[in-house]
Amino acid sequence: MESGNPDIYLASRSPRRQELLRQIGVPYRQLDVVVDESAHEDESPEVHVLRLALEKARAGWHTVENGESPLPVLGADTIVVLDDEVLGKPSDRDQAMTMLRALSGNTHRVLTGVALVDDREATRISVNNVTFRELSDAEIQRYWETGEPADKAGGYAIQGRGAVFVSHLEGSYSGVMGLPLFEVADLLDEFDLDYRRGW
């Protein structure tokens, strides 16, 4: 929904986040932003993911606030956490294999922070528990060869082939995908943005 009159800007290149906004009928325009995603020393995963979502939204807002009709900017960040260790995007096959072996047969957390910024700022966090069945090395290898794990936090995509690994999900499916729609809708309501008008 990048044409017409947008309600917000989305500070993300993620096609999954764009798809999720379209799912609930939010007109948006996409913005490219670049922020340093490194964790700060002694920063908890919850603080980290909320800080990055807010920094992305702020970076987007700084690019549009001097326009003729500046709109709020939505930022989001997702991380996968296993035993208090943050699993980022695997840099190569070996790292993906290591990550997926660690997730095999275990429960991990997927945290997604969302932030909406104009001259106000508000944030929400979605905390989700995802349990994997046991995975064989052969299955992990074949999954790597699909190309899907390469740019995904934790090395898998729940909305893709990686869905077959998930035996149990406690929380928000859209939150694990990268944009928790309950929390996003709550932010839009807080900013008096009527995304339901097109329903």
pLDDT in tens, the chain (199 residues): 444 578 999 999 999 999 999 999 999 999 999 898 888 888 999 999 999 999 999 999 999 877 767 899 999 999 999 998 999 899 999 999 999 999 999 999 999 999 999 999 999 999 999 999 999 999 999 999 999 999 899 999 999 999 999 999 999 999 999 999 999 999 999 999 999 988 8
Question: Using H for helix, E for strand and C for coil, what is the string for 96-140?
Answer: HHHHHHHHCCCEEEEEEEEEEECCCEEEEEEEEEEEECCCCHHHH
77 belongs to the catalytic site: yes
- Of the candidates 145, 138, 122, which has an alpha carbon nearest to the alpha carbon of residue 53? 122
Place of tokens 């690019």: 63
How many residues in total does the chain contain? Answer: 199
Q: What is the pLDDT of residue 198?
A: 81
**166-170 and 121-132 as β-strands: parallel, antiparallel, unpaired?**
antiparallel
- Domain 8-198: which CATH number of 3.90.15.10, 3.90.950.10, 1.10.3720.10, 3.10.129.10: 3.90.950.10
Q: What is the pLDDT of residue 39?
A: 83
Tokens of 25: 């009928």
Q: What is the pLDDT of residue 118?
A: 95
Q: What is the pLDDT of residue 3?
A: 44
Phi, psi of 122 (to 5 degrees): -145, 145
Question: Of 32, 36, 77, 118, which is the active-site residue?
Answer: 77
Query: Which residues have a Cβ under 8 Å from the Cβ of 131 and sit 6 or more positions away?
Result: 106, 107, 166, 167, 168, 169
Q: How far apart are CA 11 and CA 76, in angstroms?
A: 8
Q: What is the pLDDT of residue 68?
A: 66
129 has which bridge partners?
109, 170
Report how far apart, in Å, the C-alpha atoms of 75 and of each of 51, 140, 165 are: 10, 31, 28
Q: What is the pLDDT of residue 20?
A: 97
Q: What is the pLDDT of residue 4?
A: 54
